[in-house]
Amino acid sequence: MKTDQIDIVELQDELEKLHSASFGWALSCCRRDHAEAEEVLQTVYLKILEGKARYRGESSLKTWLFAVIRKTAIGEYRKRLVRSLVFLGSSERHDTGVSPADAPTTLLEKSELQKQFRVALAKLPARQREALHLVFYEDLSLSEAANVMGISVGSARQHYERGKKHLREWLSHTETENGIVWRRKETPSAV
């Protein structure tokens, strides 16, 4: 699918299909900040509409879109950081500390393990979190994940393995703490 051939309506349809996954990825890039993720996604759409982000068909549309989201999220984060440094104390955002994702209704739906998992995920280094998210959450291959992250496949694999190791440690720790017994399969990793 070439960009030149894609008109805006066609692109809009494709983006709509990927919207949910894009939002999930934006959430991951924005450290699970719902409002920031929405703003990033809106900025990405604006970039596409203005032609600042142009799909050239060098990779799949999903990979390209995710790379744009990641780049935009990093840019927005830097801007926020600068703003927070400039206007120390007078934050623009009225952060209530509870994102829409953490609203009471959704909080009820979350299991204790899920909450702990989110915390553990947030503690991971960004690259490891990104690699794990792209592989487990977005079902991308390691080469596609590497493409999105703008790194080599080898580096992506390293981040993925390290992240997985951290989460494994967290899992075993949680299991012993909570007395959860998982049925282990001794199948070696095939990734």
Partner 1 sequence: MELSGEEKKLQALFSELKAADEQTTPHFGATWNRAQIAPRRVRIFNPAFVAAALLLVFGVVAFAVWSRHSRTATSPQPVIATAPQNPGSTAGAEAPPAPTSETPLPQPKTAVVLSRNKTTGQRNVMLSAANRKLQKDAKSIASWTSPTSALLESPSDEIFSSLPELNQSATQLKSFLPSRSN
Q: Which residues bind partner 1 (CB under 8 A)?
A: 12, 15-16, 19-20, 23-24, 27, 34, 38, 41-43, 45-46, 49-50, 100-101, 106, 109-111, 113-114, 117-118, 121, 132-133, 136-137, 141, 164, 167-168, 171, 182-191
For partner 1, which is the closer residue by CB, 58 or 136? 136
User: In whole angstroms, how far apart are CA 93 and each of 26, 53, 84?
Assistant: 18, 27, 10
Give dist(CA 114, CA 179) in Å, integer. 16
Q: Give yes or no for a contact between 142 and 136, defined as CB atoms under 8 angstroms apart.
A: no
Choice between 19 and 93, CB closer to partner 1: 19
> In the complex, what is the shortest distance from the CB of residue 121 to partner 1, in angstroms, rounded to a whole number?
8
Nearer to partner 1, 58 or 106 (CB): 106
Least Cβ distance, residue 56 to partner 1 (angstroms): 21
| Nearest-approach distance from CB 153 to partner 1, in angstroms | 14
For partner 1, the closer of residues 37 and 149 by Cβ is 37
